[in-house]
């Protein structure tokens, strides 16, 4: 198995970055690759991703970075997941059914589903997994979405009954999140066992991960023998690794660099329209952002079309300071917020800043385009009398305990989710990643009430009300939704667009195979 050092992978940037790499590779011959016929078996797929750090993990229930997501999706499996059309599909479950008022849900596990060590996936394992996630002493990423579980009961060797303290008509959406993977009762994150298509061979946080095929996977063994995920700190280094064939595919490529791929006949891009968002986060509980007029002024300072054009090279959709673009309840009829420099200045003056304000913005390359977002925003905000001092840190520092979630003004990124799942992650009193410190008990209560409404039109009307409050007063600047741009060598077969925002077909690598050149 090929082992690449960080030094080897970063060498390509020393002599001039992506432009030099393009010049050196543009005359490379086109491989004669046969991608027809049945998938070929074997080989190691080498994946490049940006944003890994020393805080990376293989724990099923606490993914944060892009490479974390890729690991947990391949090591573990959830009861359900979103398919290429963003429809729910069953995974470890074959049925998830509510009673009439959505206070009880019966789960029927897929017959024959096994963990990587050959043990069957049992209702007891589901109970353990959800208890581990919602442990009040150590809540995991999905805790807020299932904190209302009152009790669970094993009905037989394949069925489990979940009783809720409050009704939740959208529970299945929460159970379909990739951080809701099912693990065995004796789960040890230091030696992880899961029911995903691959198992862990080695892992070094912020550097690399090797996964090998799980022959016990319920959907049948993957075509690949192994997947190697390599972390990069800079996009140029990741791109050059692809151009020099040190990796086979890369995820979340900067849209401006995608032109390099178009010039190389050996390579292709995979473009997916997504609901992935890369917001600016304002803490609503600290000055100056504790004044709603300042938050509104910051939002009005943004030229959203220019942001999409300059950060995403036009490959994206306009944002309107609300998340959950793919939710059927997303308020597409709300007035599109546009740049209004004069109104922004008036709001700042009303808030006690007649001469404008000066703020620090913490940024890091936590996702493709993050630093560029900060730079473009700083340029735009200057017109409104807002001086933005950019403080760029590495991703390990950004996510370090005591830093992340404490910055007055910073950035984040989120993959595609529906509203009730997303709001539980970032904007309720018990959210694990409440980056804007939006802690309003009445808002949280109304979120819980919306989840309990079985009637879909009524539930969607409540969601619109909650979106309206975030649109008017929230702490997020959601300026756009990115098209996902990934790139790969033409011998990588099986990648398809996916709306989740998770790179490379939602990192579902068991579908991928390597054609012979």
pLDDT-derived band at 31, boundaries 50, 70, 90: low
Q: Which of these, 384, 396, 289, lies nearest to 338 by C-alpha position? A: 384
Please provide the average confidence, as pLDDT, over all residues in the chain. 92
| pLDDT tier for residue 364 given thresholds of 50, 70 and 90 | very high
**Residue 66 domain-assigned (yes or no):** yes
Query: Which residues have CB under 8 Å from 458's CB, separation 6+?
Result: none
pLDDT confidence of residue 26: 38
Which position has the higher pLDDT, 3 or 48?
48
Q: Confidence band (pLDDT; 50, 70, 90) for 2?
A: very low
Local structure of 500: helix, strand or coil: coil
% the chain with pLDDT above 90 = 84
Helix 456-473 to helix 441-451 angle (10° resolution) is 160
What is the per-residue pLDDT for 6? 30
**CA–CA separation, 109 and 178 (whole Å):** 17
Question: Whose structure tokens read 């016929």?
Answer: 37
| Same domain (yes/no): 473, 491 | no
- Same domain as 323, residue 443: yes
5 band by pLDDT with thresholds 50, 70 and 90: very low
User: Which tokens sit at 156?
Assistant: 């037989």
Question: Has residue 2 been placed in a domain?
Answer: no
Query: What would the DSSP string read from start to end of 338-367?
Result: ---HHHHHHHHHHTT-TT-EEEEEEE--SS
Asked if residue 13 has pLDDT above 70, the reply is no
Nearest alpha carbon to residue 472 among 292, 284, 282, 275: 292
Q: What does the pLDDT look like over 456-508, one tens digit per residue?
A: 999 999 999 999 999 999 999 999 999 999 999 999 999 999 999 899 999 99
Question: Does the structure show a pLDDT above 70 at 14?
Answer: no
At 19 the pLDDT is 36
* Angstrom distance (rounded) from CA 344 to CA 477: 14
The answer to whether residues 89 and 498 touch, using CB atoms and an 8 Å cutoff, is no
Cβ 258 vs Cβ 264: under 8 Å: no
**pLDDT 10s digits, 191-207:** 999 999 999 999 999 99
Q: How far is CA 23 from the centre of its chain?
A: 33
The answer as to whether 337 is a domain residue is: yes
pLDDT number for residue 11: 32
pLDDT tens, position by position, 177-194: 999 999 999 999 999 999
- Cα–Cα distances in angstroms (integers) from residue 186 to residues 77, 120, 328, 338, in the given order: 17, 13, 39, 53
Instruction: Please give the backbone phi and psi of residue 81, each rounded to the nearest 5 degrees, phi first.
Output: -160, 170
Q: Rounded to whole angstroms, how far apart are CA atoms 290 and 286?
A: 5
Which backbone phi and psi does 188 adopt, to 5 degrees? -130, 110
Q: Are residues 173 and 204 in the same domain?
A: no
* Same domain? 366 vs 233: no
Domain count for the chain, please give it: 3
CA 509/CA 504 separation, integer angstroms:
8
Q: Are residues 334 and 398 both part of a single domain?
A: yes
| pLDDT over 80 at 517, yes or no | no
The tokens for 438 are 């939006």
- 364 and 394 in contact (C-beta within 8 Å)? yes
Of 149, 177, 205, which one is at a domain's C-terminal end?
177
Say whether pLDDT at 219 is over 90: yes
Residue 122 pLDDT > 60: yes
Higher pLDDT, 26 or 254: 254
CATH number at residue 104: 3.90.76.10
Q: Is the pLDDT of residue 25 over 80?
A: no
- pLDDT for 385-412, tens place per residue? 999 999 999 988 999 888 999 999 999 9
Q: Which residue has the tokens 């060797």?
A: 157
Give me the pLDDT at residue 441, please. 94
Same domain, 252 and 354: no
The CATH number of the domain where 264 resides is what? 3.40.190.10
Domain annotation covers residue 465? yes
User: Would you give the DSSP letter of residue 400?
Assistant: S
Q: Name the pLDDT band for 118 (thresholds 50, 70, 90).
A: very high
Q: Are residues 150 and 125 in the same domain?
A: yes
CA torsion sign, 328 to 330 to 334 to 337?
negative
Predicted local distance difference test score (pLDDT) of residue 395: 87
**pTM given for the model:** 0.80
Q: Are residues 310 and 207 in the same domain?
A: no
Residue 133 lies in a domain: yes
- Is the residue at 185 inside a domain? no
**Is 146 within the bounds of a domain?**
yes
Label each residue of 92-152 as H, E or C.
CEEEEEECCCCCEEEEEECCCCECCCCCECCHHHHHHHHHHHCCCCCCCCCHHHHCCEEEE
Which of 177, 210, 229 marks a domain boundary?
Answer: 177
HSE-up (13 A, CA, CB side) for residue 500: 23
Residues 302 and 268 in one domain: no
User: Which strand (E) or helix (H) includes residue 227?
Assistant: strand 226-232
Report pLDDT for 255.
82
Tens of pLDDT, residue by residue over 261-303, are 989 999 999 999 999 999 999 999 999 999 999 999 999 999 9
Claim to verify: residue 48 and residue 142 sit in the same structural domain: no
Q: Give the whole-angstrom CA distance, residue 173 versus residue 327.
A: 11
The tens digit of pLDDT for each residue in 57-95 reads: 999 999 988 999 999 999 999 999 999 999 999 999 999
Question: Which range of residues forms the domain containing residue 300?
Answer: 279-478
245 Cβ contact partners less than 8 Å away, ≥ 6 residues apart: 489
62 in the same domain as 106: no
| pLDDT for res 258 | 84
For residue 17, what pLDDT is reported? 37
Label residue 235 by pLDDT band (50, 70, 90): confident
- 324 shares a domain with 250: no
Q: Does the pLDDT of residue 124 top 70, yes or no?
A: yes
pLDDT band at 30 (very low <50, low <70, confident <90, very high): low
């Amino acid at each position: 198995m090929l082992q690449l050092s960080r030094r080897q992978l970063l060498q390509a940037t020393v002599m001039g970055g992506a432009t030099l790499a393009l010049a050196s590779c543009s005359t490379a011959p086109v491989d004669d690759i046969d991608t027809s016929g049945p998938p070929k078996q074997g080989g190691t797929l080498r994946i490049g991703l940006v944003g890994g750090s020393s805080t990376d993990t293989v724990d099923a229930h606490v993914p944060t970075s892009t490479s974390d997501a890729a690991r947990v999706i391949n090591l573990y499996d959830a009861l359900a997941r979103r398919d290429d059309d963003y429809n729910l599909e069953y995974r470890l479950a074959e049925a998830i059914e509510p009673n009439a008022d959505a206070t009880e849900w019966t789960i029927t596990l897929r017959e024959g589903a096994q963990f990587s060590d050959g043990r069957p996936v049992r209702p007891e394992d589901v109970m353990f997994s959800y208890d581990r996630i919602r442990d009040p002493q150590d809540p995991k990423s999905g805790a807020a979405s299932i904190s209302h579980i009152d009790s669970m009961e094993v009905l037989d060797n394949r069925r489990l009954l979940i009783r809720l303290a409050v009704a939740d008509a959208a529970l299945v959406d929460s159970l379909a999140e990739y951080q809701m993977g099912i693990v065995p009762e004796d789960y040890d994150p230091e030696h992880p066992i899961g029911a995903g298509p691959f198992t862990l061979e080695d892992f070094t946080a912020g550097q690399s991960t090797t996964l090998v095929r799980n022959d016990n996977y319920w959907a049948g063994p993957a075509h690949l023998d192994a997947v190697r995920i390599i972390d990069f700190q800079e996009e140029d280094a990741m791109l050059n690794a692809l151009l020099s064939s040190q990796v086979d595919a890369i995820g979340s490529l900067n849209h401006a660099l995608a032109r390099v791929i178009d010039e190389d006949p050996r390579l292709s891009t995979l473009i997916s329209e997504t609901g992935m968002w890369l917001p600016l986060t304002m803490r609503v509980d600290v000055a100056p952002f504790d004044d709603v007029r300042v938050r509104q002024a910051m939002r009005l300072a943004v030229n959203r079309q220019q942001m999409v054009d300059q950060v995403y090279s036009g490959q994206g959709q306009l944002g309107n300071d609300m998340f959950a673009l793919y939710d059927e309840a997303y308020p597409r009829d709300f007035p599109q917020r546009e740049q209004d420099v004069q109104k922004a200045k008036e709001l700042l003056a009303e808030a006690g800043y007649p001469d404008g304000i000066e703020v620090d913005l913490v940024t890091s390359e936590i996702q493709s385009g993050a630093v560029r977002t900060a730079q473009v925003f700083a340029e735009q905000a200057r017109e409104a009398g807002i001086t933005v001092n950019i403080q760029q840190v590495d991703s390990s520092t950004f996510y370090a305990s005591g830093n992340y979630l404490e910055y007055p003004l910073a950035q984040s990124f989120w993959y595609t989710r529906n509203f009730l799942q997303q709001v539980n992650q970032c904007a309720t009193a018990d959210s694990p990643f409440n980056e804007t410190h939006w802690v309003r008990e009445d808002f949280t209560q109304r979120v819980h009430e919306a989840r309990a409404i079985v009637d879909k039109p009524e539930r969607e009307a409540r969601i619109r009300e909650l979106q309206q409050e975030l649109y008017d007063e929230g702490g997020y600047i959601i300026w756009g939704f990115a098209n996902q741009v990934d790139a790969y060598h033409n011998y990588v077969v099986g990648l398809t667009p996916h709306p989740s925002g998770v790179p490379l077909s939602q990192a579902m690598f068991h579908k991928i195979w390597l054609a012979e050149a």
